[in-house]
Structure 1
């Protein structure tokens, strides 16, 4: 059993140090979660992907397998279909993972937008269940399984620090995820388990392209034109930040921003 006297293993902070590790990725059938799976497999990590849509999940598993080697064992990439906030789904994912070193939870929806005057109790409750509960559920499962130095990584967004009108409900929950990150880093510190989050800016994913006006290459280019780097980020760039947090065993309780400098502009 891990105790406060158990040291965190010191290993290479480079992504190659994740070779041989096992990562459970919740919300990994597309976008940043899928990109993280591809990157992890390319450096020799074993990956368990969790996603709601069976068809998309099957395609994601195939894509992640392509990033490995021809002689990979059959369980190098595993797919578990189901809601990432459902206990049975999480139990199956962790059971199939066996020893688990890292957990990544990515946000999967942009919902609940609208003026605060239109936010209902039921609507906010549904949003909480869809956005915040999966983070809590993953934390409950991870706390019982991660070794010393293992990591749990959440995702947030830059609108938490640069809010826009009509987003009070979803942004309040995004802020809650960041607070949860810091609180869990302290709570799980005696077990030497690490908890961090990535605050993403605009990333070119199917989720971004589902928004009005950003459903084409031209729309995506225009959306990122005013950022200091002049573009939106790629899913691979976003996922690489999660791998950094997994690999660097001296980072916990942090929310890092990956947004091309967009939060620096007015």
Structure 2
């Protein structure tokens, strides 16, 4: 039986994240960037990791703008591949103390019917999501304090698959399974592991899909959903802040999809 001290009790509200440091891997766009802006607005330090240096610089500037009293060390950027152990180690080293990690990066490629998928397409999906999750988890296990959290991202297609998405669904489903397994492994150190299963959210990634590149197209596509629209990046990111702030949540996969996959 573990003899570690109980996990600390603190405010479960996002304001309780003030002074904490969050490492956002895949934080230069979409949900990851929105999480950075929200975290900085409540007084958290933010470290962004992204592959493209120019996008990273723009994201750092945007997160800095979320708080007028941002000090130079309050928002940092680390350029590199999220699946690289070297990049992740550098990010943790530059951040110093890390209280929370959010992983939204992950390769999506090779969509198509299973009978037509190449081995390379399958590997890209599994490596981009599952291997990257393990790379981040290995680093987080030795760095997070008691009460610290690791949050992964998944997709609502796991519970409502569509033809041609089997490789993507397999990778996202594996991340959800790993989330529960790691929550058990991390528990003796009082570290928490969760995931968010996102539906369709208005991000650059979704707008890159055929026929969704304008406001009018997005509005029309979202109209038939239960809430009449797709979610915003900020609404999606707020779920990650909830999981960071609430010290009594671990091993959970929460769905944020506006009820779309109930229909």
TM-score by length of 1: 0.96
Structure-1 separation of matches of 2:124 and 2:111: 13
1:14-68: per-residue Cα shift (whole Å, max 9, x none)? 0000000000000010000000000000000000000011111100000000012
Q: CA deviation at 1:221?
A: 0.9
1:116-195 to structure 2, matched below 5 A, reads: 116-195=114-193
Partner of 2:25: 26
Structure-2 separation of matches of 1:59 and 1:83: 17
Structure-2 separation of matches of 1:129 and 1:177: 11
Unaligned runs of 5+ in 2: none
Structure-2 separation of matches of 1:222 and 1:91: 43
Q: Structure 1 157/4 Cα, relative in aligned 2: closer, same or farther at 3 Å?
A: farther
Partner of 1:35: 34
Partner of 1:98: 96
Unaligned runs of 5+ in 1: none
Structure 1 moving runs of 4+ over 6 Å: none
Partner of 1:51: 50
Structure-2 separation of matches of 1:6 and 1:144: 17
1:96-117: per-residue Cα shift (whole Å, max 9, x none)? 1101100000044432210111
Does the CA-based 8 Å contact 1:107-1:156 persist in structure 2? no
Does the CA-based 8 Å contact 2:194-2:243 persist in structure 1? yes
Does the CA-based 8 Å contact 2:154-2:196 persist in structure 1? yes
TM-score by length of 2: 0.97
